[in-house]
A and B are shown apart, each in its own frame.
Chain A
Amino acid sequence: MNDQNQHIQEDQLQAYLDGALESTSMDDLQAHLESCSTCQAQLDRLEAVMTRLEAMPEIDLQRDLSQLVIEQIKKENAISPAITWTLVVEAIAAGAVIGALIPALQAAGWLPRILEIKLSLQAGLNNFLAQLSSTWLVWWAGLKLQISHTLASLLPMKSLSMGIFSPWILVGMTGVLIIAINALLLGRRRLPEHNHHQLQT
């Protein structure tokens, strides 16, 4: 695109008009446009088309088609009675199978085994959650220690003890950083908006 011999593609010009390019891409494109008359002409053509399209009057339809379209969509989306009855029969059959299955399982002595599997699943899940929480606690203690060490080495106060680190400091510092960094990255630099009117004016 930046090469003089390589012209800007139409979709990129469209994105430029819509203001949907990154500011760096926007700068590159503007630099190219200044030196390339072909692309500038193409951009002018696109802009003219946009302007003409927007200037066109709205045509009133002689007949309101919306109701017909809605009716048609309703017809297409309607569930046929056959499907409804199939669903009802399936639900009854599923209920009957479950109803018959439980006494059958009881008779076959499967119920205690299913309960055993359920208990073992519960134990596995509890174990997994316990491991997760203990990992988190160890990680959190390590993080606290690391931050205390870093603070102690960074700050000139010799009296600073290892226990001075408080989670309040972490919350305060990160809170301020979140606001400051987002304000810096999002606020100052121009973010393109999908509105080509602003670009034209």
Chain B
Amino acid sequence: MQTLIVTLFALLSLIALIASLLVMRGLFPRRVNKVRQTLENHWKRSFWIGLLNTVLITLFVFGLAGIAESAPIFYILAFGVYGTFLIGLLYGLAAFIGFLGDRLFPDHSPVKKEAWAGAVFLLASLLPFVGWFLLFPYGISLAVGAVVITIFQERKQRKNTKNPQD
């Protein structure tokens, strides 16, 4: 019974994740499009920046959680940092499945192609070892990297707009 519940819970989580990615797309189309543009133009760089940031932020949060064992106030900081990271990841993944959907299902409607692409990506990520340790981290790294680059680009553009002579 419990195995069934855990399986059901995992399946529901997958559906919920795809739905949340579609919601991100619906709520913040401009931002998601920008991240997607970055993903298309800086594929390699997105991967490396994303990989390093994901690993380092995870270690950073583990460190904070370790400190929180003796000073529980640090749990708030740890949750804050990881929460922000996860929000960024959602943006990135929404852009990533949009990109994937365009490649895999070009004839479908926008919502359909993203829903299918999300399902395909998450199912592929469930493949033992290859999916768990290669495909899923690859997707996550690309998503995070594209978000980081987009944020940096936006800041740079804002700075340039403020000081056009620079």
Q: Which A residues are within 8 Å of any B CB, using their own CB? A: 15, 20-22, 120-121, 123-125, 127-128, 140, 143-144, 167-171, 174-175, 177-178, 181-182, 185-186, 191-193, 195
Contact = CB atoms under 8 A, between A and B. Distances in A.
Nearest to A165: B66
Interface in B79-123: none
A186 B152 contact: yes
15 contacts: A22-B41, A120-B1, A121-B5, A127-B2, A144-B66, A168-B63, A168-B67, A170-B59, A170-B60, A170-B62, A175-B60, A178-B60, A181-B53, A185-B49, A195-B157
Interface in B1-35: 1-2, 5-6, 9
The number of chain B residues touching the other chain, given as a range, is: 20 to 34
B105 to A, nearest CB: 22
Contact of B56 (A123, A125, A177): A177
A41 to B, nearest CB: 25
A-B CB proximity, top 6 nearest? A167-B66, A124-B5, A170-B63, A171-B63, A174-B60, A167-B63
Given A170-B63, A193-B156, A193-B157, A178 B5 contact: no
A93 to B, nearest CB: 26
Contacts, number: 84
Contacts of A186: 49, 148-149, 152
B55 to A, nearest CB: 9
Contacts of B153: 191, 193
Given A170-B60, A171-B63, 19 more contacts: A21-B41, A22-B44, A124-B9, A128-B9, A140-B62, A143-B62, A170-B62, A171-B64, A174-B56, A178-B60, A181-B53, A182-B148, A182-B152, A185-B45, A186-B148, A186-B149, A191-B42, A191-B152, A192-B41
Interface string B136-160: 0000000000001100110011001
A21 B153 CA distance: 13
Contact of B63 (A127, A174, A191, A193): A174
A89 B62 CA distance: 53
Given A21-B41, A186-B49, A120 B64 contact: no
Given A168-B67, A170-B66, A128 B152 contact: no
B63 A22 contact: no
Contacts of A125: 5, 9
Contacts of B134: none
B6 A171 contact: no
A191 B5 contact: no
Given A22-B45, A167-B66, A186-B149, A124 B60 contact: no
A193 B150 CA distance: 10
Nearest to A131: B6
A55 B65 CA distance: 58
B76 interface: no
A182 B49 contact: yes
A177 B57 CA distance: 10
Contacts of A178: 53, 56-57, 60
A11 to B, nearest CB: 12
Contacts of B148: 182, 186
A192 B37 CA distance: 12
